[in-house]
Amino acid sequence: MSLFRSLSDSTDPGDSTVWLKEEHLFDPVTYRCRSCGKRFREAAVVCPNCKKTVSGIRTDPAWVDEMVVIEEIDD
């Protein structure tokens, strides 16, 4: 059983959040807390800002938006 799964099973859903994993074209991957919006370089079990327990990670491909901007500049 994964760490995130065991935490989500044992916590109140109102006190938990998820990381939105943001992948970028030219920058390192960041993790944004869905509850407070703060970004971090590493995922943690608890958000350092809002202190909510993290129940999982979802991918938010920010690089797609970055690619659209680059394509518009090229045109």
pLDDT for the residue numbered 14: 73
CA distance 58 to 60: 7
In this predicted structure, the answer to whether residue 3 has a pLDDT above a threshold of 60 is: no
The pTM assigned to this predicted structure is 0.65
Q: How confident is the model at residue 13, as a pLDDT?
A: 57
How far apart CA 7 and CA 39 sit, in angstroms, is 21
What's the pLDDT tens digit per position in 47-71?
Answer: 999 999 999 999 877 667 777 777 7
**Hey, is 61 helix, strand or coil?**
coil
Whether residue 12 contacts residue 19, with contact meaning beta carbons closer than 8 Å, is answered with: no
Dump pLDDT digits (tens) for 11-52. Answer: 455 789 999 999 877 888 999 999 999 999 999 999 999 999
